[in-house]
Amino acid sequence: MKLKLPNPGLDNRIPSHGDLEKMEKEEAGDRPKWDNKAQYLLTCVGFCVGLGNVWRFPYLCQSHGGGAFMIPFLILLVLEGIPLLHLEFAIGQRLRKGSVGVWRSINPYLTGVGIASLIVSFLVGMYYNTIMAWIMWYLFNSFQNPLPWSQCPLNANRTGLVEECARSTTVDYFWYRETLNTSADIEESGGLQWWMVLALVSAWTLLYVCCIRGIETTGKAVYITSTLPYVVLTIFLIRGLTLKGSVEGIKFLFTPDVNELMNPATWLDAGAQVFYSFSLAFGGLISFSSYNSIHNNCEQDAVLISIINGCTSVYSATVIYSIIGFRATQKYDDCMGNNIFKLMNAFNYPENTITESNYDQILVQLNQTSPHIIQGLDLQTCDMQFFLSQGVEGTGLAFIVFTEAIIKMPFSPLWAVLFFIMLFCLGLSTMFGNIEGVVVPLQDLRVLPRTWPKEVFCGLTCLISFAFGLIFALRSGNYWLALFDNFAGSIPLLVIGFCEMIAVIYIYGVDRFNEDIEFMIGHKPNIFWQVTWRVVSPVIMIFILVFYFVTQVTKSLTYLVWDQESFPTLEPRPYPSFVYVIIFILAGVPSLAIPAFAFFKFIQKKCCKQKDYSENTVDTISAKIQMIYKNNVLL
Amino acid sequence: MFEKIFFLLCLSTALAEQLCRPEASDGYRVRLSIKTALGDEAYVWNDNEMFLFRATLAFAMRNQISGQEFEVSNIIVCDETPRVSFWFVVTSPQNTSQLVDKESVEEAVRKSRNRINSAFLLTDKTLEFIGIPPTLAAPVNPDTPPWLIVFGLVMGAVGAGIIVLLASSVVQKKRKNDEKPDDEEIDEETRVKTVENSAASEGIYNRSFSDDERFTHM
């Protein structure tokens, strides 16, 4: 499709190929650079590979037909993920600016896309770092034996365990009471929990010290934060495979159910997972690519990072499910053991006469002879499938299911420390990208004076995010976080991603884009890229956006509550009406920023028309580069 | 004479049987799970083990009620099952037909529970006295929660890092500022020289002047 929207003045806003060569040779300009290619790749991998790979993908994989889920996942990875990734890398490398700068260069009316990315990065960074604070809390608490979530505390008069803990489990109690101290409702805000505030402080200051000088410091930090998770995953894989029942978990994960492929929800979830997993539309990837040298092979990078991301998802799913299989087997054994004990005690059989293998037989026998005793025993049904499918996504996986599995392993504190360090590194490297997606646009927008150093920008961002993030340290913080997770980071990103594609392909012009890529990497992008960029990827994005929107709007909005009355399962409850306003703000403001800014620019141009013609020649990029060139020569 | 002894024996066993029966008001049921606790090293439960149990319990009673000398014969056992569970009652040494009350027995067992458990290589869970819940071990509560210590360490390291990085960038900037006045002076000199040059000979196109024009536009 040779559709191209009119875009006057584009050449004045972007550096030409000649300018880029000059900049490359003279190393003019004050833009930071990567020390080496490895830093760039590790940073991008770290940004893409995050907590979602560990606690979202395994759940999706298992619940949508196991091994069969790989098919939609891989198809959409190739058709949607890689093209979008290549697009962001290429445009960032070509225009050499952060997200706001890039979209403003393409067309001033598109500044809203950059601003939307900024807002989304800010909102997501706010709640993502709260999850980091939770991880740090658990990490701090892992340096003791026995682990605090392995035992219930005693009640006030020392006669028994605390009731809430006895009715649920020790890990549930530790998570909902001692960590979150959660209230029963989103409206009961409770007070600030001081230990949570301390954890938030530690998370934000640690992030600040790593981001303090932009990629100069994050580039060093990623050597550890991007590689350590793989080491720990491998350790857990080896440990997991030696535990009893791990193979059950892996089988459960990968058992294919081809019927799920007929279910549109499977494809929708696969597409959404690919999109969010690649951290597209945050603006961070564009920023990172802009620090590359002009002839860096961005096509290769895009393919490489996509492959790494996909493989990491599958690898971590295997590891997670091996541990989940172990936990499920333990729970099953405990459950059966309990039942067998009850039978033996009631009928005074000698030990070891009832085992798991003849349990059913004997139960049937006894049920025929003395059914009333059997009824009085209150035997539980032990279902392996039930244990395997318990709470295996999101924070429930990390803080409840996995912690429970860890306390059953020997040397638990060691495994706890390793696990939470891995989660921490995964999240921290994603936060680097988020901070980049906030700080660089702020600098580009010139909201604050230019002379202020980057440390101050970074510090202000962290401070303000921390201040707003205190809402998650309230007793109802968990419910607010779930709200943010569902709405701030979902629909706006899809909208921004779609607008990015349209902007580059149809406003910037796919012909110009092809020429740019030929200039940068030496050959024109082949037919695969052409087809996906122009048709396939935008269509897929529209589909996902529309279906996502429809499912969110049609289903009644509820949230899960930890309430004394419905232990130990969570109870769904509808949101109060004021929350709908907040949902609209979270999802609507970034999405609406795009047309709003276009309108604002239009008004600005109309009313300030007289000053228009004397647009300084210095404003054009070429002139700026000429100046820098000459200054360098003079100096 | 023999008949008398025989009669007394029968009477005592009969009495004992009457005193000890399941659901006796002053007795307790005991349940042992030896194979669960010890696996392959489990010992077989026989009369000798039962004797040890009665002796241990007598020891516990002696500890509890000082002055009274409980003997093995004061511990009466009945209703043994293959599960290895049985019912026991304790008779008073002064009056063998009178049972020691439930509370004293419970106290005695509670006090010496550890000794009774270790005599049989079992734990609270595997040697159960039905009706006497084990006293729960209080979880260890250190004075400073360990997490605060780790938190303090991490924050100290992070704070030091921030200070070091900020200080080094301030120092770098100062160094840059010190170099800049020197460069500006050199710039001034070249401009002065070029002005002089152009005044002398008009052939050379003077770039610095055309740049100055651009500056003034701003």
- Give pLDDT tens digits for A62-84: 888 888 899 999 999 999 999 99
pLDDT at B141 over 90: no
Across-strand partners of A573?
A559
Per residue in A104-130, pLDDT tens? 999 889 999 999 999 999 999 999 999
B166 and B126 together in one domain: no
Question: What is the H or E stretch that residue B129 is in?
Answer: strand B127-130
B82: nearest CB among A153, A213, A350? A350
pLDDT at A443 over 70: yes
Contact flag A158-B138 (C-beta cutoff 8 Å): yes
Contact flag B83-A345 (C-beta cutoff 8 Å): yes
Handedness of CA A77, A80, A81, A87 (dihedral sign): positive
Q: What is the pLDDT of residue B183?
A: 59
Q: What is the mean pLDDT of residues A340-356?
A: 83
pLDDT at A423 over 80: yes
Question: Is pLDDT larger for residue A580 or for residue B19?
Answer: A580
Q: Residue A621 — very low, low, confident or very high, per pLDDT cuts 50/70/90?
A: low
B181 and B88 together in one domain: no
pLDDT at B66 over 90: no
Q: What's the Cα-to-Cα distance from A358 to each of A78, A336, A363, rounded to whole Å?
A: 51, 11, 8
Contact flag B35-A352 (C-beta cutoff 8 Å): yes
Q: How far apart are alpha carbons A238 and A235 in whole angstroms?
A: 5
How far is A48 from chain B, CA to nearest CA, in Å? 25
**What is the overall mean pLDDT for chain B?**
78
Exposed (0-12), middle (13-18) or buried (19+): which is A446, by Cβ within 10 Å?
exposed
Q: Search chain B and give the residue with CA nearest A451.
A: B173
How far is A621 from chain B, CA to nearest CA, in Å? 15
B150 and B121 together in one domain: no
The response to whether A339 counts as a known ligand-binding position is no
B24 and B124 together in one domain: yes
Tokens standing for B105?
Answer: 């027995």
B104 and B192 together in one domain: no
How far is B55 from chain A, CA to nearest CA, in Å? 24
Q: How far apart are alpha carbons A31 and A39 in whole angstroms?
A: 16
Pairing of strands B28-32, B85-90: antiparallel
Chain A residues 129-168 within an 8 A CB cutoff of chain B: 136-137, 139-141, 143-144, 151, 153-154, 158, 160-161
Q: Does residue A155 contact residue A164 with C-beta atoms inside 8 Å?
A: no
The 8-class DSSP code of residue A177 comes to I
Contact flag A160-B84 (C-beta cutoff 8 Å): no
Question: What is the H or E stretch that residue A217 is in?
Answer: helix A215-225
Q: Residue A325 — very low, low, confident or very high, per pLDDT cuts 50/70/90?
A: very high
How far is B62 from chain A, CA to nearest CA, in Å? 26
A143: nearest CB among B139, B146, B211? B146
B112 and B199 together in one domain: no
Q: How far apart are alpha carbons B142 and B145 in whole angstroms?
A: 6
Q: What is the mean pLDDT of residues A1-23?
A: 79
**CA dihedral of A107, A109, A114, A118, whole degrees rounded to 10:** 160
| Single-letter amino acid code for the residue at A172 | D
The response to whether A263 counts as a known ligand-binding position is no
Q: Give, in words, the CATH class of A34-141+154-626.
A: mainly alpha
Total domain count, chain B: 2
B60 and B36 together in one domain: yes
Q: What is the pLDDT of residue B203?
A: 57
pLDDT at A568 over 80: no
Sheet holding B28-32, edge to edge: B75-81, B85-90, B28-32, B127-130
Q: What is the pLDDT of residue A371?
A: 82
Quickly count: other Cβ atoms within 10 Å of residue A422's Cβ. Answer: 22
B66 and B162 together in one domain: no
A72 — phi, psi (to 5°)? -60, -35
Q: What is the mean pLDDT of residues A588-615?
A: 80
Question: What is the H or E stretch that residue B76 is in?
Answer: strand B75-81
Structural domain includes residue B136:
no
Mutate which: A134, A139, A140, vs B, most B CBs within 10 A? A140
| Selection from A135-139, A183-187, A366-370, A555-559 with the highest mean pLDDT | A135-139
Q: What is the pLDDT of residue A23?
A: 80
Q: Residue A428 — very low, low, confident or very high, per pLDDT cuts 50/70/90?
A: very high
Quickly count: other Cβ atoms within 10 Å of residue A182's Cβ. Answer: 21
Q: Which of B186, B187, B194, B193 is nearest to B210 (CA)?
A: B194
Q: Residue B211 — very low, low, confident or very high, per pLDDT cuts 50/70/90?
A: very low
Residues of A in contact with B190 (CB under 8 A): 634
Structural domain includes residue B211:
no
Contact flag A201-B214 (C-beta cutoff 8 Å): no
Quickly count: other Cβ atoms within 10 Å of residue A205's Cβ. Answer: 18
Per residue in A226-235, pLDDT tens? 999 999 999 9
pTM, whole model, 2 decimals?
0.84
B90 and B188 together in one domain: no
Mutate which: B44, B158, B205, vs A, most A CBs within 10 A? B158
Contact flag B147-A141 (C-beta cutoff 8 Å): yes
Tokens standing for B202?
Answer: 């008009």
Q: Search chain B and give the residue with CA nearest A142.
A: B147
| CA–CA–CA angle A520, A526, A531 (5° rounding) | 120
Q: What is the pLDDT of residue A620?
A: 59
Q: Residue A319 — very low, low, confident or very high, per pLDDT cuts 50/70/90?
A: very high
Range with the poorest average pLDDT among A495-504, A530-539, B77-86? B77-86
Q: Does residue A325 contact residue A250 with C-beta atoms inside 8 Å?
A: yes
Q: What is the pLDDT of residue B13?
A: 62
Q: What is the pLDDT of residue A615?
A: 47
The parent domain of residue B162 ranges over 146-203
Question: What is the H or E stretch that residue A168 is in?
Answer: none
Residues of A in contact with B217 (CB under 8 A): 616-618
Distance of CA A618 to the CA centre of its chain: 42
Residues 6+ apart with CB under 8 A from A256: A65, A66, A67, A68
Q: How far apart are alpha carbons A388 and A325 in whole angstroms?
A: 6
B57 and B154 together in one domain: no
pLDDT at A610 over 70: no
